[in-house]
Amino acid sequence: MIRFHTGLPARQEKKILAGDVVTMDGARTIVRQGRICIDGAAIVAVLKPADPLPAGFGNVEAIDTKGTIFPGLIDLHNHLTYNMLPLWNVPKKYTNRNQWRTEETSYQSDIARPASLLARHADADYTRAIIRYAECRSLFGGVTTAQGMSLSSSNGTRKLFEGLVRNVEQPLEQGWPTAGCQTLDYQREEIPTKLVPALSSGNPFFYHLSEGTDRAARQRFRDLLLDDGKWAVGKSMICIHCVGLKPRDFKVMARTAGMVWSPTSNLLLYGRTADVAAAKARGVPIALGADWSPSGCKNMLGELKIARAVSAKQGGLFSPRELVEMVTSVPAAMLGWTAHVGSIAAGLRADLLVVEGAHADPYTALIDAGETAIRAILIDGRIRVGEAGSFTAGDPLTSESFAIGGKEYHIDLVEDGDDAMGGMSLAAAVDKLAYGLEHLPELAEESAQESAHPTALMALADGPAWRLDLEMEDHGEHEALDGGHAHAHGMALAGIGLRAAAEAPVRPMELAPITAVDDAHFVERLLGNRNLPAYVRRSLQHRGFAQ
C-alpha cells in the first residue's frame, strides 16, 4: 500500500487532493487551485478554492500535489500479451496487415515465435511476468483503463485476466457495459452470423477494420454491406485502425460508436494512417490506442505525441484539448462508461493521473509530458503509482520501489482476493522475461521436445491449465486472408503463416526497458524506421520524445 505524506493513517478512506483540476466534463472545466474530495473508490466533490468542504471531510488534511490532475487515461486498443517484445525493425512498407502477419519471415522470428515461446511456456511464471510487465508498462504512461488480456484453458473455456488496470472486456462492476472484441477479419459470409449478433447485444464491440492501404484492406470495409443493402454497423461498434477507408466511407462510420486511431503503428507498418480529417468532418468520435510494442509507442504519453505530429501536418487538425479528449472523455463515451470514468466529477470513480506542475495550457502539458512528469496514479482512489520521497511513502510489505528515468517511484501491485499473480513483483517479472528472451533458442528446443502438450498449457491457479491468448496468431485458420489474393488462397496463407511461426528460428533477444525515458534504443529505432514520415521524425526531434 502507498500513502501520501500526511498526518493521516495509511488506510484513511477519505482524501483531498489539491491542485489544478482538468475535469474533462461536458463544459471542459479547469478548476485552478481546486480540490478533489475522495471517499474510498469514489469522488465526492470537486471544489473551487473558496468552496466549503463536504460533510465528513472537515478533519481530512489536503494533499498539495503541486501538480495538475487529469482523469486516468484510457487506452482502447492494445495487444498486451506482446508488450514484452522490443520495437520491431520493420523490413519494408506493407499495404495490408496479412503481408507481415503471415508472409514476413522476420515477423515470425522476432514477434510471433518469441511471444508464443514465452506465453505458452509450461512455467506459469512466464505468464505472470508477461501480465505484470504489460500492466506496469501501461500504468507508467498514466493508463488506468485498457483492453485486457485473455486466457484459454485446457478444458476449452476462456476467461479474462482480472488485474490492476481497469479492463474494458471485464469491468467487474454491475452496470458497466462489457466489451467484446474481434481481432482477425470475419469472412464476408460470417458478417451476418457473427458480427451482426455481436452488435445487436448492445454492448460495445471492438472490430479491427481495414488495416492497410490497398484494395484488400478496403474490401474488409465493403464486406460490411449486407445483401439486403444495409450496413453491419451500429452504435455499439468501435472500429480499430480504419486505414484503408476512403473519405466517403466515414459517412457510414458516423453510425458507429467511433474509431480507435493508432497512428504510430499505422505509420511504422504502412507509412500512412487513417484519414482522421475525413472522420472528424463526418463527426466520427476518435479515441487513441497504442496498439502493441512491436509497432507502437511504449504507452499513451508517446501516442499523444505522434498524434500531435500528424495533426500539425494537417494544419492543426486537432487542438491539444481534442487530443486529450481522445484518451479520456471520448473513449469513455464510446464504451458507455461516462457515468464512471473519463472525467472528474462527483459520483465518478477516482481514477486519476497527477502530473507535476501548474500550466497555462494543461492539455499541451500532458501531451508534452514524459513518464517522469507523473507524480501519482490512482485507480478507485487507491494509489497504484506514487513519486517517492516527500510526496508518497510505500509500505515495504505491500509495495515495491522502481526507478523511472532516475526518479524513484512506489508501485502497489497487491490485488484483492485470490492472487493469481503468485506475488509476482515487477522486478521479478523483469528478471524472468529478460532471462526468457535471452534464452529463446533453449526455450525453442524445449518446446520441440515436448510431446504431451505441444502448446504448453499453464496453470495460474488450482483447476484447469490456462494459457495466454495471442490474438494475432490464434484462430488464424478461421480468417479470410485476402492480402491481394483470392479468399481461398488467403486461407492457405493463414495455415502457412501459422506453421511458419511454429518453425521459425529464434535468436537471443534483450528485454527493452519498460519506459521510453529509459530506452535510448526505442527512440533510435522509432526515428530510424524506414516508413516513418519525415515530418513526424522532425516533430519528435524538435519537441523531444522522452523526458
Residue 156 has a pLDDT of: 64
Instruction: Quote the CA–CA distance of 279 and 243 in Å, as a whole number.
Output: 11
Report the alpha-carbon angle 372-294-171, nearest 5: 70
Around Cβ 128, how many Cβ atoms within 10 Å? 21
More confident residue, 117 or 10: 117
What phi, psi does 172 have (nearest 5°)?
A: 60, 25
Instruction: Say if residue 225 is exposed, middle or buried (CB neighbours under 10 Å; 0-12, 13-18, 19+).
Output: middle
Instruction: Quote the CA–CA distance of 3 and 379 in Å, as a whole number.
Output: 13
Compute the radius of gyration of the chain from its Cα atoms: 23
Q: Are 386 and 394 in contact (CB under 8 A)?
A: yes
Q: What is the 3-state secondary structure (H, E, C) of 340-409?
A: CCCCCCCCCECCEEEEECCCCCHHHHHHHCCHHHEEEEEECCEEEEEEECCCEEECCCCCEEEEECCEEE
* Topology at the third CATH level for domain 2-72+340-411: Urease, subunit C; domain 1 (2.30.40)
Q: Could you give the 3-state DSSP secondary structure of residue 361?
A: coil
Least confident stretch, 95-104, 396-405, 408-417: 408-417
Instruction: Quote the CA–CA distance of 149 and 71 in Å, as a whole number.
Output: 23
Residue 463 has a pLDDT of: 55
Q: How confident is the model at residue 144 (pLDDT cuts 50, 70, 90)?
A: very high
Q: Are 90 and 44 in contact (CB under 8 A)?
A: no
Least confident stretch, 53-62, 356-365, 435-444, 449-458: 449-458
Mean pLDDT on 101-119: 96
What are the tens digits of pLDDT across the range 70-85?
A: 999 999 999 999 999 9
Residue 419 has a pLDDT of: 63
Mean pLDDT on 481-492: 35
Q: Are 249 and 270 in contact (CB under 8 A)?
A: no
CB-based contacts of 274: which residues, under 8 Å, 6+ apart? Answer: 241, 242, 243, 245, 259, 261, 263, 266
Least confident stretch, 135-139, 348-352, 459-463: 459-463
Q: How confident is the model at residue 7 (pLDDT cuts 50, 70, 90)?
A: low
pTM of the model: 0.93
Mean pLDDT on 21-32: 98
